[in-house]
Amino acid sequence: MLENLIDAVTSWTASDSGKSTLSTVTSTVGWFEAAAVVGAAYFKGMIPLRAAAMTSNVLGITYGLLSGNLAVLTKHSINLPLNATRLLEMRRLIRSVRAASDSDLNFEWLKPFMHLDSFRATDFVFEKGDVAEQAYLLVEGRIEISEHGVILEPGAIFGEMALFTKNCKRTASAKCLTDVRLLSITYEQFEQLYFQNPKFGLYLVRLVVRRFESNHLGEELESS
């Protein structure tokens, strides 16, 4: 039965009508693939752009198979899983940030985008008046915010609020009480994540506002 079906398809594709139909289908798929590539360039958000790119990849693979164009087939076969991986990563990021904004202040979701730094006891991570360029997550050790007499323990986030100040200057100093290991992320990376996906920026602002509310409440309790 299967052999008969294969023979029938082979005979049809070898006929003039089969060749004409196959040529038309191949050309149509090629035009759709080109349209998908052009359409992807008009998307501003990273998620719709990746989705459009994947659509283009599927159409490109189909076109490559129908036309026998190995170069096109290879290109889209490589790009499809790459685009799919990036799309999944961005969706996971959004879910993680959304979860963080709905729960206690937690910046665990930023770790994949951060870099490890080390400081010795008595070193200053930054001093009051310094130009702020990074935010930090304390991994090991203890840090004192000198002007406020606050001691930071592992798991604490600090330095992120300066991103939203007018002159990006530090308003306090961070001094290492012990040897310290921390993770850092530059404000430039923050901005890149924002522009790659505006939803990231929305949830980041929510997190920072909650941080401000938490700090403000702490100051009110201390003064009462």
Q: Which domains does the chain have, with CATH numbers?
A: 2-101 (no CATH), 108-223 (2.60.120.10)
Cβ contact 114:182 at 8 Å? no
Between β-strands 115-119 and 180-186, what pairing exists: parallel, antiparallel or unpaired?
antiparallel
Which carries the bigger pLDDT value, residue 55 or residue 194? 55
Residue 62 has pLDDT above 70, yes or no: yes
Query: At how many degrees (to 10) do helices 16-40 and 2-14 cross?
Result: 80
Cβ contact 177:151 at 8 Å? yes
Question: In this prediction, what percent of the chain has a pLDDT beyond 70?
Answer: 71
At 118, the pLDDT band (50, 70, 90 cuts) reads: very high
- Please give the pLDDT value at position 181: 94
H helix runs in 41-179, sequence order: 46-67, 70-101
E strand or H helix that includes residue 16: helix 16-40
Say what the pTM is.
Answer: 0.47
SS3 44: coil
pLDDT tens digits for range 22-40: 778 778 877 888 887 787 7
- Please give the pLDDT value at position 88: 87
Cβ contact 173:147 at 8 Å? yes
- Please give the pLDDT value at position 224: 47
What's the whole-number mean pLDDT along residues 101-109?
56
Rg (CA), the chain: 27
* Distance (Å) of CA 162 to CA 8, 63, 97, 188, 220: 71, 51, 20, 13, 21
- Please give the pLDDT value at position 117: 92
Cβ contact 31:19 at 8 Å? no
The single-letter code of the amino acid at 163 is L
Q: Which residues lie closer than 8 Å to 182 by C-beta, 6 or more apart?
A: 116, 117, 118, 119, 125, 136, 137, 138, 139, 140, 141
Burial class, 103, CB count within 10 angstroms (exposed 0-12 / middle 13-18 / buried 19+): exposed
Closest CA to 185 of 140, 222, 135, 150: 135
> For residue 157, what are the β-bridge partners?
137
pLDDT tens digits for range 123-177: 999 998 888 888 888 999 999 988 777 898 998 878 877 777 777 888 889 999 9
